[in-house]
A and B are shown apart, each in its own frame.
Chain A
Amino acid sequence: MNPFIVYAIALKMLLGDRLKYFGLIAGIAFAAMLISQQAAILVGFTKQTGSFIRDTAQADLWIMDPQVRFSQDHIPLREMMVHLVRGTPGVAWAVPLYQGFVRAKMPDGTNFTLILVGLDDASLTGAPPLMVEGQLTDLRRDRAVLIDAGTSAKKLLMKNGGKRPMQVGDSFSIMDHDAFIVGSYRSRTSFFWEPVLYTTYSRALGFAAGGERNMLSYVMVKLAPGADLEQTRQLLQQRTGLLARSNPEFIRITADYILNETGILMNFGFAVLLGFAIGALVAGQTFYNFTLDNLRHYGTLKAMGVGNRTLAAMLFLQVGVVSVLGYGIGVGMGAALGLWMSSAGLAFSMPWQIPAVTAGAIVLVSLIASWFSLRRVFALEPAVVFKG
């Protein structure tokens, strides 16, 4: 039988029953949307966990306590480590960085917790990538701090009478020390809810001083030109007894820790699997029902001399058409939903791998659906052909 005619008949059979046709596409689209959207949220969360490290990526290595589990995990180091690192061969420069959770109070009395980042006083290395208001050097002014312009409306809202977010020019207190907002910056969306404020390293220590003798969180290291990362890392670790992690490594351990400890990986992984399973069930069941409804016609074609291979080609074409359309609609809907979620500040990221993996999942769903249908078509029974 001419393959084009076979395909034309198969498509006419498929399009002939509009309700089932749309049902099939909806089933596949639903599965594709669930899989791609949930996976994109998971990737979005994963990316957010490393946003601080990415925003502070001027260094090649981060020197930290071996027990540090993620980027906001403050386990203090001795101040002298900065000097020890600076004196290590292969190091171009090394600067201290403070990062920790501290309590603060807004002008109207609203209490809140913030993540305070202290940058090297001299170089201000580790600063956020983009200033919105003011200059980075304004941090050298008395009591100066920078706030995140992107999140201040939500995270720095004065709830006890102020009824407005804190802004440049406002004064407030950090651990009972006066602070003054001199500028704002824009950064990547963070996984953590707490607002991130930047100041100088020495001022951060002053703000956060709570009786601890050592306050240094990290030493950020830039390699000298031509220095080998592995060799320098080994040397630094030998000299300091600390751990030296590259940016990608630090991003990875942070993501691993947060995703696993918060249950996000389990929850969203389960949601992706659930999307796949529900999609497979819906699409499989709908297609199987479509096949059952048309079994008499497949049987008639087979009785009239159409072979199994041709019937299989017809089925695959039918499944293929609904799968491609359903996949496109589903991933499109997932992406549209993601755009809306992103604009609302929620985690969503859809790299090309997600549509690719979703396509693979949909192919699998389609093959499962086809398999059960093919079994019925191949096992042609006279009762089906003759009695319908």
Chain B
Amino acid sequence: MHVTPPPSAPAVFCRQLSKIFGSGDNQVHALRGIDLQIEQGELMMLVGPSGCGKTTLISVIAGILDASGGECQVLGQDLNSLDASARTRWRGQQIGFVFQAYNLIPSLNAAENVAIPLLVQKMARREAIEQAAAMLQRVGLADRRHALPAQLSGGQQQRVAIARALVHQPRLVVCDEPTSALDHVTGHQVMELLREVASSANRSLIVVTHDARIFSFADRIAHIEDGMITHIAQQASSLDKESFHVA
């Protein structure tokens, strides 16, 4: 049973969250007591050097990884209480993903790629393709719906990926380095698109990034280092951009 959080409840609530890989002498502490709260409708950026635990954190929040300790409630759901298959279903319904390398299936066209989350929800193919086409129109790719990923530019592929992340109306969108493979102008356009299309009163975005040029799109920025959040800037403008490592 999935829980719908009250309007005032946070989208993500983590307390003393930890994740350990390996055992014995080979233990790696990827997350060390993370405390994080992300509000509904908020765009939170996670920044930090490579290997600091950003990907591990969004993996735990998105229900891809189990936490080793601590508490993590996402959209009112305690992820530890769900078994693997229930968590997979929950993830399919509630989470949208935008990946650094787009992760579009090369042999499917743009509309088919976008339709996948709807098909996962057992929607009829024709209806799913129609909704995918509508979402492609929102991201400005109505005329490219039949194009294969290889026939699209990097920016267009990322827009298809954003359409795919949003087509099933998820409550939380997790973006991993969405602009790192794009040039400055295209990266800016993608972030504007995410801001415009993805943001709504009850949809939250978590964006992992190294790209200091897009910090201005964030509501808050959490700086992670060595598995811990060292500080959270309440507004992008108040952050000293020079303090971030850009790998």
Shortest beta-carbon distance from B72 to chain A in Å: 15
CB pair A306–B92 under 8 Å, yes or no, is: yes
Most buried by A among B84, B119, B176: B119
| Bound form: Cα–Cα A149–B177 in Å | 80
| Contact between B92 and A385, CB atoms less than 8 A apart | no
Q: A1-B122, A385-B64 are in contact. Are A307 and B107 (CB under 8 A)?
A: no
Measured CB to CB, the closest approach of chain A to B167, in angstroms, equals 10
The digit string for A52-92, where 1 denotes a CB below 8 A from any CB of B, is: 00000000000000000000000000000000000000000
Q: Which of A13, A306, A383 contacts B107 (CB 8 A)?
A: A13
CB within 8 A of B99: which of A15, A300, A308? A300
Beyond contacts A12-B107, A17-B107, A304-B116: 6 other A-B pairs, Cβ-Cβ < 8 A, are A296-B103, A297-B103, A307-B85, A307-B89, A382-B56, A385-B103
* 8 A Cβ contacts from A294-318 to B: 296-297, 299-308
Chain B residues with Cβ below 8 Å from A17 are 106-107
Task: Quote the shortest CB–CB distance from B34 to chain A (angstroms).
Answer: 15
A2 interface hit (Cβ, 8 Å): yes
A315 to chain B, nearest CB (A): 15
Within 8 A of B (CB), among A181-221: none
- Give bound CA distance, A296 to B101, whole Å: 10
CA gap between A304 and B117 in the complex, in Å:
6
Could you tell me if A2 and B176 are in contact, using CB atoms closer than 8 angstroms?
A: no
Interface residue from B91, B103, B176 paired with A305 (Cβ < 8 Å): B91
Min distance, Cβ A91 to any Cβ of chain B, angstroms? 75
Chain B contact residue count (CB 8 A cutoff): 35
Asked whether B120 is an interface residue with its Cβ less than 8 Å from the other chain, the reply is: yes
Determine the chain A residues whose CB is within 8 A of the CB of B38 once the complex forms: none
Main secondary structure on A side of the interface with B? helix
Determine if A16 and B88 form an interchain contact, defined as CB atoms under 8 angstroms apart: no
Other-chain residue from A2, A12, A301, A382 in contact with B59 (beta carbon distance below 8 A): A382
Tell me if A380 counts as interface (CB < 8 A to partner B): yes
A-B contact pairs, 6 of them (CB 8 A): A16-B106, A297-B105, A299-B103, A307-B89, A385-B99, A388-B103
User: Is A5 part of the binding interface, using a Cβ–Cβ cutoff of 8 Å?
Assistant: yes
Contact (Cβ within 8 A) B100 A387 = yes
Interchain CB contact under 8 A, A304 and B108? no
Known contacts A297-B103, A386-B99, A303 near B85 by CB under 8 Å = no
Structural contact, A386 and B100, CB atoms closer than 8 A: yes
B-side contacts of A5, CB under 8 Å: 119, 125
Determine whether A9 belongs to the interface, using a CB cutoff of 8 Å to chain B. Answer: yes
When distances are taken between beta carbons in the complex, the residues of chain A under 8 Å from B91 are: 303-305
Q: Mark A359-388, 1 if CB is under 8 A from B, else 0.
A: 000000000000000000000101101111
| Cα–Cα, bound, A307→B99 (Å) | 20
* Distance to closest chain B CB from A317 (angstroms): 14
- Chain B, range 82-118, C-beta contacts under 8 Å to A: 84-85, 88-89, 91-93, 95, 97, 99-101, 103, 105-108, 112, 116-117
B206 contacts partner chain A, Cβ-Cβ < 8 Å: no
CA distance A385 to B105 in the complex (A): 13
Which among B56, B103, B119 is the interface contact of A300 at CB below 8 angstroms?
Answer: B103
Considering the complex of A and B, which 8 residue pairs feature the smallest CB-CB distances, nearest first?
A305-B92, A16-B107, A382-B59, A388-B101, A300-B103, A12-B107, A305-B120, A386-B176
Tell me, rounded to whole Å, the shortest Cβ–Cβ distance linking B19 to chain A.
10
CA distance A1 to B97 in the complex (A): 18
